[in-house]
Amino acid sequence: MANKKSKPGSNTIALNKKARHEYSLGDKFEAGLELQGWEVKSIRAGKVNISDTYIHLKNGEAFLLGSQIQPLNSASTHVICDPYRYRKLLLKKREIDRLVGSTERDGFTLVATAMYWKQCWVKLEFHLAKGKKLHDKREDGKEKDWAREKERTMKHSAR
């Protein structure tokens, strides 16, 4: 599964492990999320999925698309719960301008990689990213295998 709720003592809510495989990640950003009450309760219960999540920039604002926050069964009946709604990201104007420039001029994509608690606030970590080609993914796999093999040989030669 692409997202996981970590240990109870950890601040991590959800991870997008697929992002590192699919994209070459660049600069890292942190943003707050504008959430409704039922969403916060569901996040506390760990009902979040941020795989296949990305950020869309429109009219000087940033929105989180593709994230899924499942409502709890005990959600209020008078509140309409949409698990796939657009969620506004809380960023400074200067950060949004930089992101707009990078995405429009340089062809970057904004990909969410982690959601976590920072004190009592829900924060989203995302990166400027470029999509990898198939041969890039193969090279990364070969590099990982080679690094693992080096560790094994160094471990055995030290004995």
Per-residue model confidence (pLDDT) at position 116: 92
93: exposed, middle or buried (Cβ count in 10 Å: 0-12, 13-18, 19+): exposed
Quick one: three-class SS letters along 12-59?
A: EEEECCHHHHHEEEEEEEEEEECCCHHHHHHHHCCCEECCCCEEEEEC
Distance, CA of 112 to CA of 37 (rounded, Å): 22
The pairing of beta strand 68-69 with beta strand 121-131: unpaired
Q: Please, which pLDDT band fits residue 33 given cuts at 50, 70 and 90?
A: very high
Give me the domains of the chain, ranges plus CATH numbers.
12-133 (2.40.280.10)
According to the model, what pLDDT value does residue 155 have? 82
pLDDT, position 126: 92
For the CA atoms of 72, 4, 61, 94, the dihedral, rounded to the nearest 10 degrees, stands at 140
Percentage, residues of the chain above pLDDT 70: 91
What tokens appear for 145 in the block?
């295998």
User: pLDDT digits over 40-91, tens only?
Assistant: 888 888 889 998 888 999 998 999 998 888 888 776 667 778 788 889 999 9
pLDDT at 1: 47
pTM above 0.75, yes or no: no
pLDDT computed for residue 2 by the predictor: 52
Please write the tens of the pLDDT for every residue from 138-152: 777 788 888 888 888
